[in-house]
Structure 1
């Protein structure tokens, strides 16, 4: 097996587009992150590696800084080679994420101490069943970016505190420019919950983040705004509407299932530890 490091998106796309597009559900993170890089070329260039057996492409490894490596398209047979190449060309990567079997195999093969930072379940929408909840929903606009930025910071601090994040308000402004949908649920004109949906790529859209401030929780607003974002994605042609739910939060997992989401696969994220401890 051979590895090829790509210096341009065009080079990577030429050999991976059909492969990634054939399974947009498994490759949801790569498809959305690469779309962002194409549309916002001022961002840091990603690490792009493909793996070949003869003339056949058998897998790929992607990292869009400052995030971890993505292993959804990395076969287990390529893990050892992927670790060797990644260590040479991208030694500053903070960790790895993807379907549990692949991300854990990658983390283990590095020989570095690591810790599991996030365990999630990937869901796909079946039949959407919006709840009946007080209030009404609307789509966010440029006028809402300050609120969305503040809520994004709160979401990241609560849900994924180790993950890197840039200026939140600018991230929300960029997301709107990309054509992503941001739904707000309001009660009496006051926003009480938010959910984002990515612009469909090859028929796939992913919901997230979903955030309800603590003072507005346990009223069904998160379910309502998630359903609204899901409807937005369906109306724009999505045939696969996906979301990730934190496995340590049984409430959110049950909520998503009640509005029509069905479990598909478990993912895990591992971060390198900068100490001499053992793996966990």
Structure 2
């Protein structure tokens, strides 16, 4: 497999024409590129940063598209599942072009193979930053016993609260880049994409969002409860409600990612009906 087998473009429409069928053929495993691509096409190429995104597909003359990636600087490149040869060819193509990378994310094997090739070709140190598991909602259920209170869809009056929680969430997961809290909250509220759990007196205590539906699926993200309010079942209750509402609306698949370093959240999501699909990893490049 040669580096030139990877076809690169900065044009999201060109990438969509090449890769849409491939990405939709395994929508759960391709949830990140599907949702990111929809967001870029709907809200502008610079949604995630000032630099133009880069897209690519690995084309096999006999079997069509075998893999794809997208890179929205300053975030890590995201790579679909691919074997070591394909990962090596992509690393060589990008290294030859002098394309800078902060890291790589994707299915565990693909991310590891690309990371090893990048380290060897560029001499750049690489380290595992996060191990994740992708879950799919299989048997929806509410946490038992449920916490006191109720779920409701966030509205314009919640904007300040949502902005604060978004910034706190980014700090908690170590994310410094991306869109600002104001535009993020406005876009989510405009489409009803955030749900709050509030106590009986009406105080919001947790939130869960969902991506727009694409390829018959949504992904629950983010889920956040302030540190001093954790341990009461709020996150489980609001996440269960987001999943229930999506299923009721006819969504075929409800997905979410967890950090494997957090056994509490992994156990919680399994108790409310989520089952593991695949393991992913995020690698960081540099010292």
Q: Does TM-score exceed 0.5, indicating one fold?
A: yes
Q: Deviations over 1:197-218 (max 9, x none)?
A: 1121111110111111112111
- Pick which of 38-47 and 253-262 moved more: 38-47
3-state SS of the aligned residue for 1:110? helix
d(CA) in 2 for partners of 1:168, 1:210: 15
Matches within 5 A, 1:22-37: 22-37=25-40
Choose which of 223, 240, 248 in structure 2 pairs with 1:235. Answer: 248
What is the aligned partner in structure 2 of residue 139 from structure 1?
A: 153
Report the TM-score, using the length of structure 1 for normalisation.
0.91
What are the superposed Cα offsets for residues 225-246 of structure 1, whole Å, 9 maximum, x if unpaired? 1011112222332211111111
Higher alpha-carbon deviation: 63-72 or 106-115: 63-72
Report the Cα distance in structure 2 between the residues aligned to 1:138 and 1:235, rounded to whole angstroms. Answer: 15
1:87, distance to aligned residue in structure 2 (A): 2.8
Quote the RMSD (CA, aligned, Å): 1.7
Partner of 1:257: 270
- Of the structure 1 ranges 110-119 and 162-171, higher mean CA displacement relative to structure 2 is found in 162-171
Normalised TM-score (structure 2): 0.89
- Count of aligned positions: 272
Counterpart for residue 233 of structure 2: 220
Q: Which runs of 5+ in 2 are unaligned?
A: none
* Aligned counterpart in structure 1 of residue 261 of structure 2, from 248, 260, 275: 248
* Structure 1 unaligned blocks of 5 or more: 275-280
Correspondence 1:13-28 to 2 at 5 A = 13-28=16-31
* SS class of match (1:38): helix
**After superposition, what is the alpha-carbon deviation per residue over 1:59-101, rounded to whole angstroms, capped at 9, x for unaligned?**
1111123311111244433111111222345733210001111
CA distance in 2, matches of 1:121, 1:49: 24
Displacement of 1:180 in angstroms is 5.8
SS of residue in 1 equivalent to 2:284? strand
Contact 1:137 1:185 in 2 (8 A): yes
Q: Distance in 2 between matches of 1:80 and 1:176?
A: 42
Q: Among 1, 4, 15, which residue is 1:12 paired with?
A: 15
Q: Does 1:182 align with 2:194?
A: yes
